[in-house]
Structure 1
Amino acid sequence: MSKAFTDAEVLVAEVLSFLAGDVERLIQFFEATGLSASLIRQAATDPGFNQAILEYAASDELRLLELARHAGRDPAHFASAATAIDTSPESQTTSPRAALNRPTNLARRYEATSPCE
């Protein structure tokens, strides 16, 4: 397992802990991703889960700053970790990737019906 992937797993745990620490943040996460409490464990086995969580964390500047303060890390660390573990063909190009601006597709993969199940 690569060091980048291991570092990303630690950051993902920090993101999920941060989200779980506040009901409103957790609800926003479920609404944005379409996931539910009952699907998180299953979704976590998806190869793209870590990257999706890190992209979600970095997709809102205020949330990212609050998360970074909570974790005691530089905000750029979360975005760079998502990029470091990205193995999609698009990541192999030299053009910059757009920031996440829509819900992830994790929920569709797991046939989520409503958040917070």
Structure 2
Amino acid sequence: MGGQSGKGSEQAETLAIRALGFVAADPVLLPRFLAITGIEASDIRQAAAEPGFLAGVLDFILAHEPTLEAFCAETGIEPAAVGRAKQHLPGGDGRYERST
């Protein structure tokens, strides 16, 4: 049980929660995130418990290089670590469909 993937999943979830906090605290990013996801600000906590939501947060960060750079600068996390973390989350295995 547990093992390496369990630890990777926990670390990925922690990183994604930090990313969600980063987005939620930004007055420009939050409305864009809400518009893209279609959720209301009041529903973020509930949505965060849904499978795939945290991978979607990381997708949002990864989809816009300036946002990724700002998140990484603020947190000290390497950009490649954000992509790796997404792969450890439900829905983050590359089968996620991006909208262009």
Same fold (TM over 0.5): yes
Choose the corresponding residue for 1:22, options 11, 15, 26: 26
Report whether the alignment pairs 1:69 with 2:69: no
* Greater C-alpha Rg: 1
Deviation at 1:33, TM superposition (A): 1.3
The one-letter code sitting in structure 2 at the alignment partner of 1:24 is: V
The answer to whether the 8 Å contact 2:15/2:82 transfers is yes
Residues matched between the structures, number: 96
2-structure distance, mates of 1:87, 1:63:
21
1:32–1:102 Cα contact (<8 Å) kept: no
In structure 2, the CA distance between the partners of 1:64 and 1:79, relative to structure 1 (3 Å rule), is same
Q: Which amino acid aligns with 1:71?
A: T
Following the alignment from structure 1 to structure 2, what is the Cα–Cα distance between the partners of residues 30 and 87?
Answer: 19
- Structure with greater contact order relative to length (CA < 8 Å, sep ≥ 6): 1
Which of residues 10, 13, 22 is equivalent to 1:6? 10
TM-score of the pair, normalised by structure 1: 0.70
Normalised by the length of structure 2, the TM-score is: 0.80
Q: Residue by residue, what CA displacement relative to the aligned partner does 1:59-99 show, whole Å, maximum 9, x if unpaired? A: 111111111111111011111111133567xx4xxxxx488
In 1, distance between residues paired with 2:26 and 2:89? 27
Equivalent-residue separation in structure 1 for 2:33 and 2:91 (angstroms)? 24
5+ residue gaps, structure 1: 92-96, 104-117
Which residue pairs with 1:102 in the alignment? 99
In structure 2, list runs of 5 or more residues that go unmatched.
Answer: none
Q: Report the equivalent of 1:108.
A: none
The structure with the greater share of residues assigned to helix is 2
